[in-house]
Amino acid sequence: MLDYITDKVQDENRQGEAFAPFATDPNQYRKLFYIESYGCQMNFSDSEIVASILNKEGFGATRNFEDADLVLLNTCSIREKAEQTVRKRLTEFKKVKEAKPGMLIGMLGCMAERLKSKLLEEEKLVDLVVGPDAYRTLPGLIIEAEGGQKAVNVLLSREETYADISPVRLDSNGVTAFVSIMRGCNNMCSFCVVPFTRGRERSRDAGSIIRECRDLFQKGFREVTLLGQNVDSYYFVDEVKDEIVTFAKLLEKVALISPLLRVRFSTSHPKDITDEVLHTMAKYENICKYIHLPVQSGSSRILQLMNRTYTREWYMAKVDRIREIMPDCGISSDIIAGFCTEEDADHKDTLSIMEYSGYDMSYMFFYSERPGTLAERRYKDDIPDDVKKKRLQEIVELQGRLSFASNTKDIGKTFAVLIEGDSKRSDHDWRGRSSQNKVIVFPKESYRLKKGDYVNVKVTACTQATLLGTIIN
């Protein structure tokens, strides 16, 4: 079943290798670890924290899991399909382990938190189970597992933000990086398992965020994406400076590091994004004009069942406000097809709010019932799979038309593009992104440019997913 439609941001950030701390000499490290990440950007960011913790313990990273002493899967529970993928992968790892008995297999992330010791005790698929707030205890857990004990830590924390741990950039392109600014979520959307797997919301020390971003800039990075489940509720009281740092204030502080450092953020909850944030975005050229503003559904009745705390009209007014303050702002969305009790009329409301918002891009999903969520306890998952599939298909097709229309409107315009690397198809072309987060591919010609440079590109043609252009002097 078609369940998950391409994660553009993620793919585009998993390209180059400039800062990868992978072991070149196998004897350089005490042991080797292999880590594979699934799901949201937060998981990829967490894997970089884990890599840092392991590096300090003398573990080097390897790209080949057969060479590893420790194989880790950083897992996602958001939809059933994500969990099935991980289970399949674990069975593959288990086969390799049979020929290499000393190898340890560990499960990290949301699935570890959700299933706790089940995969260790009942199915014997893993040796270690570590939840998202327990990564500091990994070294001790590895020793326990090496000694044949059950190594499990799934304690959630109200304070842990890993603020003092400098992430080791895995598979980085050396230009763009994710910076985690908060953890957990207090929202309780009824379909969502995240509040149960990632715990209560907490904001990371603002000073440590600024230091990490400044350090990235000094190392040559030119774009940071501030990450959180709900960034607009970022709130930090700096007792030393006697200052309250809201998300708008944090954005401003990061933007002031350098005009050459682009700032992005994800994800915004429509109920929490403030005018102060929108005005701060408008004020600084280097804060990208792009908001990921998940709508989930266009029907007020369904939104209420989803516990999203806004109505259709309220969301539309938010889109109006964004366009009023930043007419050139890109907007994208997450959409769920076939939530409990959804009727054709609700589905039509979703299609029409997509048209109204004119999304440049969306992540589109079937509703997948998750154990323990409010929706699982209160409502019946009553929409048949074929109806979910048909509705999702309509949503995907409409988004295709909207993306193409949005890209077509850009033909003839010139954008400042941050070069991220060679295009996927040809090393004669560069690939970069506009402030609005659109991918632009253009010939290198004879200009002496490099990754991390900014260049003005005039758009000459487009597809649904990409703008094509030429460099303007």
Residues at the contact surface with ligand SF4, assessed by CB under 6 A? 185, 187-189, 192, 194-195, 229-230, 269
Nearer to ligand 5AD, 51 or 82 (CB): 82
Candidate list 61, 125, 336, 468; residue touching ligand 5AD; CB under 6 A: 336
Q: How far is the CB of 79 from ligand 5AD (least distance, A)?
A: 5
Residue 315 interface partner, choices ligand SF4, ligand 5AD, none, CB cut-off 5-8 Å depending on type? none
Decide: is 294 part of the binding site for ligand 5AD (CB under 6 A).
yes
Measure the CA–CA gap between 51 and 66, rounded to whole angstroms.
Answer: 18
Nearest Cα neighbor of 262 from 213, 319, 223 is: 223
Of 59 and 196, nearer to ligand SF4 (C-beta) is: 196
**Cα–Cα distance list, 164 to 204, 283, 374 (Å):** 10, 30, 34
d(CA 246, CA 255): 14
Question: According to the binding rule CB under 6 A, does residue 310 interact with ligand 5AD?
Answer: no
Residue 457: strand pairing partners = 415, 471
Give dist(CA 300, CA 13) in Å, integer: 35
User: Which residues have a Cβ under 8 Å from the Cβ of 149 and sit 6 or more positions away?
Assistant: none
Buried b (16+ CB within 10 A) or exposed e, 417-427: bbbbbbbeeee
Provide the CB-side half-sphere exposure for 375 (13 A, CA).
Answer: 23
Picking from 346, 339, 335, the residue whose alpha carbon sits closest to that of residue 383 is: 339
Q: Which does 368 bind (CB under 5 to 8 A by kind): ligand SF4, ligand 5AD, none?
A: ligand 5AD
| Sites for ligand 5AD among residues 368-387 (CB under 6 A) | 368, 370
| Six token digits for residue 464 | 């649904």
Q: Judging by DSSP bridges, how do beta strands 361-366 and 202-203 pair with one another?
A: unpaired
Work out what residue 336 binds among ligand SF4, ligand 5AD, none; the CB cut-off runs from 5 to 8 Å by kind.
Answer: ligand 5AD
CB distance 267 to 231 below 8 Å: yes
Q: Where are the alpha helices (DSSP H) in 273-425?
A: 275-283, 300-305, 312-325, 344-357, 374-378, 385-409
Query: For 170-199, what is the HEC assignment?
Result: CCCCCCEEEEECEECCCCCCCCCCHHHHHC
Identify the three-state secondary structure at position 15: coil
Nearer to ligand 5AD, 220 or 384 (CB): 384
From residue 79 to residue 108, the character string flagging contacts with ligand 5AD as x (rule: CB under 6 A) and all else as - is: x-----------------------------
We find the least distance from the C-beta atom of residue 312 to ligand 5AD, in angstroms, to be 16
In this complex, which beta carbon is closest to ligand 5AD, that of residue 107 or of residue 336?
A: 336
Q: Pick from ligand SF4, ligand 5AD, none: which does 34 bind, CB < 5 to 8 A by kind?
A: none
Q: How far is the CB of 7 from ligand SF4 (least distance, A)?
A: 15
Region near ligand 5AD per CB under 6 A, out of 8-16, 361-369, 397-405, 423-431: 361-369
Q: Which CB sits closer to ligand 5AD, 76 or 175? A: 76
Rg of the chain taking only CA atoms, in angstroms: 22
Smallest gap from Cβ 23 to ligand 5AD, in A, equals 33
CB of 406 to ligand 5AD, least distance (A): 20
Residues of span 170-199 touching ligand 5AD by CB under 6 A: 191-192
| Contact region with ligand 5AD (CB under 6 A), list: 209-217, 309-317, 363-371, 394-402 | 363-371
The span from the CA of 368 to the CA of 365, in Å, is 8
Smallest gap from residue 371 Cβ to ligand SF4 (A): 15
Residue 230 touching ligand 5AD (CB under 6 A): no
Least CB distance to ligand SF4 at residue 211 (A):
27
**Shortest CB 293 distance to ligand 5AD, Å:** 10
CA 206/CA 166 separation, integer angstroms = 14
Q: How far is the CB of 295 from ligand SF4 (least distance, A)?
A: 11
Task: For ligand 5AD, give the closer residue by CB, 168 or 192.
Answer: 192
- Minimum CB distance to ligand 5AD smaller for 203 or for 267: 267
CA gap 436, 359 in Å, rounded: 12
**Is 281 or 336 the residue whose CB approaches ligand 5AD more closely?**
336
Answer yes or no whether residue 273 interacts with ligand 5AD by CB under 6 A.
Answer: no
DSSP assignment string, 321-349: HHHHH-TT-EEEEEEEES-TT--HHHHHH
What three-state secondary structure class fits 422? strand
Q: How far apart are CB 199 and ligand 5AD at their closest, in Å? A: 16
Contacts of 148 (CB under 8 A, 6+ apart): none
Q: Which residues bind ligand 5AD (CB under 6 A)?
A: 78-79, 191-192, 294, 296, 334, 336, 365, 367-368, 370
